[in-house]
Each structure stands twice: as structure tokens, then as C-alpha cells.
Amino acid sequence: MNSQPRAVLSMHDVMPETLSLVEDFLAFCSTHAIPPMTLLVVPGCDWRDEQLDRLRDLAGLGHELAAHGWLHRVGTPQSLYHRLHSTLLSRNVAEHLALDGESILALMRRSHAWFAEHDLPAPSLYVPPAWALGAVARQSLASLDFARIEVLRGVLDLRTAHLHPLPLVGFEADSGFRAAILRLWNSSQTGMARISRRTLRIGVHPQDLNLRLGGSLRELLKERWHFISYGDVL
């Protein structure tokens, strides 16, 4: 059995406008012998044929494609919770929080169907933008074609309806305040992963290597992790 600490690596916000940055990040990972990761694709963007071909090439290289919302943006938050969530965590991307349960399920089904419509591998993982699943009953998720959903606390196995709590780190720090908060959060989550021997979820964004915590991200990825897939996590 591998004694190295385990980690699962995912790239958020894979869109037409971020695809070149995503490929740059993957090139960095390749030079450090990091295996293929999970790419969280935003289906509702304006994907051109050439960009879809690049997605197919990435899938062919072994990168898992997951569904990541539909548009990855939302208008003005309506509820107090959504306004607080937007201010403190998600800004304007947590599109589930503006929807009711049936609308959330419809969005998720639409997101899943998009992959087959564009000759891409069907995703087994769904990650709501900002990990915010919203007001949808857990039992209703069993009707979806996904096998698992990742939320802020961990990974939900839709076959058993069991949530597997897992530590999570992130590096999207475009301000001093966010950088300070994330440093504290990441330190506690990484320590929790090592002590509990639970798999560490490393959630990155296309521009993270160029932001304030880019150095910390590079250092973390160069450590001796045993990288696994989301399926292996469960």
C-alpha cells in the first residue's frame, strides 16, 4: 500500500477564455510528473469547434472531464445568504444559489447532456460553482446521471447518499485579504489531511500560478503526493 499522503487535483473554470491558461498549468504539472487531473468544464459557454477539439485531446491524454455548473455566473443575489456567500466566498459565480430545487436539477441534467451532444466523455462528477449546491433535496439527486457531487465539505456518493468529508485547499487569491485568509485555511486543511490520513482535495483555478499564492501552490504540488482520481477517493 502506498504510504504517501493522498491528494486529488482538480482544475476549476475550464472555459474557452481560460483554455490556454489551463494548458499552461497542465504543462507545469507534466514537468513535475503529476498525473492527469480532473478538469471542471463549464458547458454553457460559447465553445467553438477548435476549442472542443482541444477538450477532446485533453480527455484523450487521460484527464477526467467533470461538469461545473452551466454558465458559472449569476445576476444580483436575491437572498441574504446568497449576498453574504457572494461577498465572502463566491462573488458572482454560485449560480445554484439563485435557483429553486427543480431548477437546480434541470441545470445539472442540462450540464450532463452537453458532453454527449459534443462527443465528449460523459462526466461522472458534478461540481457546482463555488461548491454551492443550493436548495435541492439530497434524495432527488439520485435521479441524476452523475455518480458523485463535490461540495465544500467533501464528496457526495449518489449511489449511497453518503457524504465523505475531505479537507480542501484553494489558491484563488487576487487580493491581500483573500491571500491571508486562504493561507490560514490551507495550513489547517493540509494539517488535517496529514493527521487524519484523509485525501486532500486541491482545487485550483487557471490563473492561480500567477496570483499571490502561486508560490505556495508550486511548493505544495512539488511535495510527494500520491495523486488519485475522484472515483478512487470513494
**What's the helix, strand, coil split of the chain in %, to 5?**
45, 15, 40
- Pick from 79-83, 87-91, 210-214 the range whose average pLDDT is largest: 210-214
pLDDT of residue 178: 87
Residue from 184, 179, 28, 56 nearest 120 by CA: 56
pLDDT given for residue 120 in this prediction:
98
Cα separation, 210 vs 173, in Å, equals 10
Instruction: Give me the residue spans of the domains in the chain.
Output: 6-233
Helices (H), the chain: 19-31, 49-60, 80-85, 101-117, 176-196, 214-222, 230-233
Q: What percent of the chain has pLDDT over 70?
A: 91
Q: What integer is the mean pLDDT of 143-155?
A: 97
Asked if residues 103 and 123 have their Cβ atoms less than 8 Å apart, the reply is no
Asked if residue 87 has pLDDT above 50, the reply is no
Q: For residue 216, which phi and psi values (nearest 5 degrees)?
A: -65, -40
Angle at alpha carbon of residue 55, lines to 50 and 60, rounded to 5°: 120
Average pLDDT over residues 66-94: 63
Q: Is the pLDDT of residue 79 over 70?
A: no
Q: What pLDDT was estimated at residue 92?
A: 65
- For residues 82-110, average pLDDT: 75
Mean pLDDT lowest for which of 46-50, 88-92, 149-153?
88-92
List beta partners, residue 41.
Answer: 14, 67
Instruction: Say if residue 82's pLDDT is above 50.
Output: no
The total number of residues written for the chain in this structure: 234
23-54 pLDDT, tens digit each = 999 999 999 999 999 999 999 999 999 999 99
User: Going by CATH, does the domain composed of 6-233 fall within 3.20.20.370?
Assistant: yes
